[in-house]
């Protein structure tokens, strides 16, 4: 086995136990147990409506914004239950950043997009520090070279791939520990997708990355561990290489080989 | 499915014909609408534009101290005792003297008849001028006096020799004299700033009636409406759209807001009358009451477009803000509100424009009263009696003297100009805000 | 379930056609082997020549299988069992191609042997051995089509018999050579033939292992049974 891909030694960053999610009367997610490892890319795959995005949104409590959503079970980030009543979801989301399906930069300048998070969380004491944070994050997002001469031009004027990398820069600007990505490349062309995937692979050195994707090839390319969701169940979770060459569960097999399952 | 593409089959021809018919209906409808608009503009402009020009008599007046200040003390109290009748006589004599000096034959007309060509309002204006500057007494000034409505009407085509013969207020001789004065340069049509600046005048003096009080009253009301309905409306919309839980109670509120927007405006007038005047004891005819009534009326009309504008902000922006750890409030004020601003401002200005043109509720709270004195500066002025533009228009159209038809049309032009300015401001604001993003 | 059809039916057709190629190739190899063994026994030069020429067809099919598999991987991105099928097909094709080469070599040597003094009993023994190997090959391919890991395991075990037959023949040829030095050339040829047939058996085993990988996802772990080595240096190459 490729040493770089061997992540079995990494510790668990997020431990989810017996997680149930309901939307009103609809039991959307059933008995999910997952350990998300630190400094690892974990991919969630599965057919539409299988609950993978729902579970992703549980990890930073984005489901709180949906009034009918109800989450049971325990999700622990570094051993702390994120659904504890004492936890402020706003604080949690600074620790668990999120990148969305459609690139959604704020209709502000490139600089302001990245600076927004540090500003509201008070992560920079003065303008110089803020400049530095912006530069670092844009460099980490592999966007600095392309935008350094036009930081004040609107972020919405960038190409789709650049916008998505800007969103990643914005997400990592709050120094999160976990980065959630909800189908980050579904609106991008293959070249932009490759750039974002390369970026994800680099981010693995500092963050625990969880990515929901419809593209099995993408899951195979970027992740070290893969979880397959089906009809609200976590069917199989394991090493990506194993899931894609020799899945244990026949439902996983049917799904990844493109059979009716 | 065979057949050449170069020839149309029957179905295609029928479909194309239906489409062409539908298009022609649309064009006809638009042409009809445009014709109606053109007709409106022609009739309003045709009737109203003359109101901005007024027939004036220009002649030297000697402010004889022996007449105006018998004690020769220039004591303001003594001066104030001299009535407009004295000033009227002074003007009559001055005009007669001027005619004589120019060698114009007044025919059978007496000094009094000659004086009746001058508007009674002019005597008051001259008196105000003298009281304002007593130093003028004793000197000879060149005074611009308004001609009466009949003479004005003669030059605007309302009055002819034939109608004058049957009119007890004027006579063909007077009109003939006016013609002679016009030839001599004493009488002329001039731009009339008084139409915008002067207050309303009595039924007999259409030539002196102005929109000053009405414009000021409307402006005061708009200030009240803007200051109250914008913050309240936006706050209510924000709460309902971004914070309120979705339950039966908020549903009820939503339905009621939609219904309130459809309530006839006169109902708000009754509400204002019973609540603000009878219950709260606020003064009648005051812009503050009119403004409050209009606030009630405008609120749902601001809330509905504001909520639509908030709703139109893509959820991805909210997600993005929440995703980087912004709080609900930060999300709303940093991202959602600025994006919705163009829509909110447009809705607000359109709501204000509707309020500006509203007549019915103002009639009920007494703003139809005849007000000759300007309200003072705000905030006290908000409680002084005032009129409002649409009410003034309504008021003038009910008056007998045909001179007021022209005044009413002129006032409509002023109102339309204000509405156009407001709508242009709405468009400009929207453009400006949109360009920023 | 995995025996269900793909949502994209063209994928199924592609997979089936590439497996059909393997079966066709297997059939050709089996025929070539049995024809070569018969040509050796009956000293039929014409038959041997036909076997020699027939190898080109086998090579062509291998080429076709490789092209098809490359196309499948590029266009269909197979995953899971599909991926294993494609990988197995490529390996099996390469195994069969080697078997074809051995049959061709057998045919060539049988033409040479026809000009020499025959070694009594050798042709018959070789033919029995070839028959046994043919059976192994056939079973391995049947196991492939049926995804039958048990049959494949059986093939793996039965390769032992082939090894034992080879060892017996080896000693026999050694005896003939010790008896009469003039037999050496013929015996060397016969020994190479025996060795080649034994190698075909090894390839059949390799195919069986691919079948086990294909159906279970793991290569068989424990070492397969081996006949004891005959002489030093004669062990596994």
| Closest chain C residue to the Cα of A220, Cα to Cα | C79
Of A94, A104, A117, the CB nearest to B319: A104
SS3 A23: strand
Do B178 and B248 belong together in one domain?
no
Q: How many CA atoms lie within 13 A of A180 on its CB side?
A: 28
* pLDDT, position C236: 42
Q: Name the E strands within B327-384.
A: none
Within-domain flag for B158: yes
Contacts of C140 (CB under 8 A, 6+ apart): C152, C155, C204, C205, C207, C208, C211
Residue C2 pLDDT > 50, yes or no? no
* pLDDT, position C3: 54
In sequence order, the β-bridge partners of residue A208 are A178
C-alpha of A63 from chain center:
15
Do B216 and B171 belong together in one domain?
no
The region, left, alpha or beta by phi > 0 then psi within -120 to 50, assigned to residue A61 is left
Of B246, B318, B325, the CB nearest to A90: B325
**Residue C62 pLDDT level (bands cut at 50, 70, 90):** very high
Residue C227 pLDDT > 80, yes or no? no
Mean pLDDT of A91-117: 89
- Can you give the residue range of the structural domain that contains B343? 212-436
Do B346 and B421 belong together in one domain?
yes
**Residue C87 pLDDT level (bands cut at 50, 70, 90):** very high
The sign one gets for the Cα dihedral C95, C101, C106, C107 is: positive
A68 contacts chain C (CB < 8 A): no
Contacts of B42 (CB under 8 A, 6+ apart): none
**Residue A9 pLDDT level (bands cut at 50, 70, 90):** low
Residue A44 pLDDT > 90, yes or no? yes
Which residue carries 């920079």 as its tokens?
A: A124
Within-domain flag for B43: no
**Residue B137 pLDDT level (bands cut at 50, 70, 90):** confident
Do B417 and B269 belong together in one domain?
yes
CA distance A1 to chain B (A): 36
Q: What is the pLDDT of residues C74-84, one digit of tens each?
A: 988 888 888 99
Residue B378 pLDDT > 80, yes or no? no
CB contact under 8 A, A120 and B324: yes
* pLDDT, position B435: 56
Q: Which of A228, A254, A255, A259 to mutate to test the interface with C (most CBs of C within 10 A)?
A: A259
Domains in chain C with CATH codes: 9-216 (1.20.58.220)
**Cα A192 to Cα A160: distance, rounded to the nearest angstrom:** 8
* pLDDT, position B111: 79
Residue A162 pLDDT > 50, yes or no? yes
Residue C225 pLDDT > 80, yes or no? no
Residue C235 pLDDT > 50, yes or no? no
B54 sits in which H/E element:
strand B53-62
Q: What is the pLDDT of residues B226-282, one digit of tens each?
A: 999 999 999 999 999 888 888 899 889 989 988 988 888 889 989 888 988 888 888
| Domain assignments of chain A as residue spans, ordered by start | 12-256
| Closest chain C residue to the Cα of A243, Cα to Cα | C80
SS3 C217: coil
**Top-confidence range, A110-114, A154-158, B124-128:** A110-114
Q: Which token pair is C78?
A: 């197979």
Q: Which residues of C4-19 are buried (b: 16+ CB within 10 A; e: fewer)?
A: eebeeeebeebbeebb
B287 sits in which H/E element:
helix B287-312
**Cα B76 to Cα B320: distance, rounded to the nearest angstrom:** 73
CA distance A145 to chain B (A): 23
CB contact under 8 A, A257 and C81: yes
A258 contacts chain C (CB < 8 A): yes
Which among B84, B79, B172, B174 has a CA at the least distance from the CA of B126?
Answer: B84
Do B118 and B142 belong together in one domain?
yes
CB contact under 8 A, C82 and A250: no
A238 contacts chain C (CB < 8 A): no
This complex has an ipTM of 0.83
Residue B1 pLDDT > 60, yes or no? no
Residue A181 pLDDT > 70, yes or no? yes
Name the domain count of chain B: 2
Q: What does the radius of gyration of chain B's CA atoms come to, in whole angstroms?
A: 30
Q: How many CB pairs under 8 A join A and B?
A: 68
* pLDDT, position B233: 93
Topology of domain A12-256, CATH: Rossmann fold (3.40.50)
Residue A5 pLDDT > 60, yes or no? no
Q: What is the pLDDT of residues B39-78, one digit of tens each?
A: 999 998 888 888 888 888 888 888 887 777 777 777 778 7
Do B220 and B337 belong together in one domain?
yes
Domain boundary among B205, B229, B247: B205
Contacts of B130 (CB under 8 A, 6+ apart): B63, B68, B79, B87, B136, B137
Within-domain flag for B356: yes
Q: What is the pLDDT of residues A201-234, one digit of tens each?
A: 888 888 899 999 988 889 999 999 999 999 889 9
SS3 A22: strand
* pLDDT, position B135: 81
Within-domain flag for B427: yes
Residue C232 pLDDT > 60, yes or no? no
Do B230 and B378 belong together in one domain?
yes
**Cα C61 to Cα C56: distance, rounded to the nearest angstrom:** 9
Asked if residue C12 lies in contact with residue A259, where contact means CB atoms within 8 angstroms, the answer is: no
Query: What is the residue-averaged pLDDT of chain B?
Result: 86
* pLDDT, position A111: 92
Domain boundary among B205, B224, B252: B205
Residues of C in contact with A257 (CB under 8 A): 2, 6, 78-82
| CATH at B304 | 1.10.3720.10
DSSP state of B296: H
Do B229 and B196 belong together in one domain?
no
CB contact under 8 A, B320 and A173: no
Which among A43, A64, A58, A38 has a CA at the least distance from the CA of A204?
Answer: A38
Q: What is the pLDDT of residues B140-152, one digit of tens each?
A: 888 888 888 888 8
Do B56 and B73 belong together in one domain?
yes
Domain boundary among B177, B205, B233: B205
């Amino acid at each position: 086995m490729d040493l770089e891909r061997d992540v079995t030694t990494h510790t668990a960053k997020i431990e989810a136990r017996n997680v149930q999610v309901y939307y009103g009367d609809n039991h959307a997610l059933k008995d999910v147990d997952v350990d998300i490892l630190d400094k690892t890319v974990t991919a969630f795959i599965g057919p539409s409506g299988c609950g993978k995005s729902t579970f992703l949104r549980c990890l930073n409590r984005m489901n709180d914004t949906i009034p009918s959503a109800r989450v049971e079970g325990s999700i622990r980030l570094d051993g702390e239950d994120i659904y504890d009543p004492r936890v402020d979801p706003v604080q949690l989301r600074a620790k668990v950043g999120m990148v969305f399906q459609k690139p959604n930069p704020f209709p502000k300048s490139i600089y302001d997009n990245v600076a927004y998070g540090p500003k509201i969380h008070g992560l920079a004491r003065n303008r110089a520090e803020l400049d530095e944070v912006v530069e670092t994050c844009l460099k980490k997002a592999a966007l600095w070279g392309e935008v350094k001469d036009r930081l004040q031009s609107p972020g919405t004027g960038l190409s789709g791939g650049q916008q998505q990398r800007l969103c990643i820069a914005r997400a990592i600007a709050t120094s999160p520990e976990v980065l959630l990505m909800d189908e980050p490349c579904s609106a991008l062309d293959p070249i932009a997708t490759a750039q974002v995937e390369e970026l994800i692979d680099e981010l693995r050195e500092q963050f625990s990355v969880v990515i929901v994707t419809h593209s099995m090839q993408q899951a195979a390319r970027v992740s070290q561990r893969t979880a397959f969701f089906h009809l609200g169940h976590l069917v199989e979770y394991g090493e990506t290489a194993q899931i894609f060459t020799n899945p244990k569960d026949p439902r996983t097999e049917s799904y990844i080989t493109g059979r009716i399952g | 499915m065979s057949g050449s593409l170069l020839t149309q089959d029957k179905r295609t021809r029928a479909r194309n014909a239906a489409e062409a018919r539908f298009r022609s209906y649309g064009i006809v409808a638009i042409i009809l609408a445009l014709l109606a608009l053109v007709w409106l503009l022609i009739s309003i402009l045709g009737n109203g534009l003359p109101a901005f020009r007024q027939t004036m008599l220009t002649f030297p007046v000697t402010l004889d101290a022996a007449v105006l200040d018998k004690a020769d003390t220039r004591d303001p109290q003594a001066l104030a005792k001299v009535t407009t009748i004295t000033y009227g006589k002074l003007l009559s004599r001055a005009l007669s003297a001027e005619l004589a000096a120019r060698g114009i034959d007044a025919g059978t007309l007496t000094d009094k008849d000659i004086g009746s060509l001058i508007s009674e309002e002019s005597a008051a204006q001259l008196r105000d001028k003298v009281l304002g500057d007593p130093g003028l007494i004793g000197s000879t000034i060149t005074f611009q006096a308004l001609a009466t409505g009949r003479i004005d009407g003669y030059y605007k085509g309302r009055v002819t020799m034939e109608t004058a013969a049957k009119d007890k207020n004027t006579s063909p001789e007077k009109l003939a004299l006016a013609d002679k004065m016009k030839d001599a340069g004493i009488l002329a049509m001039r731009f009339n700033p008084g139409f915008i600046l002067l207050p309303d005048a009595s039924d007999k003096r259409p030539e002196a009636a102005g929109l000053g009080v009405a414009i000021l009253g409307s402006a005061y009301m708009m200030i009240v409406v803007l200051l109250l309905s914008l913050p309240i409306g936006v706050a209510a919309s924000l709460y309902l759209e971004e914070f309120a839980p979705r339950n039966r109670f908020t549903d009820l509120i939503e339905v009621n807001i939609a219904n309130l927007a459809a309530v006839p405006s006169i109902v708000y007038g009754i509400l204002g009358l019973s609540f603000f005047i009878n219950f709260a004891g606020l003064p009648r005819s005051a812009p503050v009451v009119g403004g409050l009534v209009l606030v009630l009326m405008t609120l749902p009309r601001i809330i509905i477009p504001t909520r639509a504008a908030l709703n139109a902000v893509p959820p991805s922006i909210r997600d993005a803000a929440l995703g980087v750890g912004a709080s609900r409030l930060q999300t709303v004020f940093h991202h959602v509100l600025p994006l919705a601003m163009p829509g909110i401002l447009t809705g607000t200005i359109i709501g204000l424009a509707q309020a500006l043109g509203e007549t019915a509720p103002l009639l009920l709270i007494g703003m139809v009263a005849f007000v000759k004195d300007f309200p003072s500066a705000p905030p006290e002025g908000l409680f002084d009696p005032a009129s409002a533009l649409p009410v003034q228009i309504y008021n003038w159209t009910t008056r007998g003297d045909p001179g007021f038809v022209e005044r009413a049309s002129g006032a409509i032009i002023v109102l339309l100009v204000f509405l156009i300015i407001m709508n242009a401001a709405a468009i400009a604001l929207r453009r400006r805000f949109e360009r920023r993003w | 379930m995995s025996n269900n059809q793909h949502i994209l039916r063209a994928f199924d057709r592609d997979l089936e056609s590439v497996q059909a190629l393997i079966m066709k190739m297997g059939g050709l190899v089996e025929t070539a082997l049995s024809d070569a063994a018969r040509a050796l026994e009956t000293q039929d030069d014409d038959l041997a020549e036909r076997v020699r020429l027939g190898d080109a067809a086998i090579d062509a099919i291998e080429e076709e299988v490789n092209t098809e598999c490359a196309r499948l991987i590029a266009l269909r991105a197979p995953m899971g069992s599909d991926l294993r099928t494609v990988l197995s097909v490529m390996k099996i094709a390469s195994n069969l191609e080697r078997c074809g080469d051995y049959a061709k070599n057998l045919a060539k040597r049988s033409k040479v042997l026809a000009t020499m003094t025959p070694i009594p009993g050798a042709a018959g023994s070789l033919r029995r051995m070839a028959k046994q190997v043919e059976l192994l090959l056939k079973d391995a391919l049947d196991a492939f089509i049926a995804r039958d890991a048990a049959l494949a395991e059986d093939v793996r075990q039965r390769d032992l018999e082939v090894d034992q037959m080879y060892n017996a023949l080896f000693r026999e040829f050694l005896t003939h050579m010790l008896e009469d030095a003039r037999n050496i050339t013929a015996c060397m040829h016969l020994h190479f033939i025996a060795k080649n047939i034994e190698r075909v058996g090894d390839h059949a085993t390799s195919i069986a292992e691919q079948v086990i990988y294909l159906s279970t996802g793991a290569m068989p772990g424990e070492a397969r049974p081996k006949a004891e080595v005959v002489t030093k240096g004669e062990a596994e190459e």
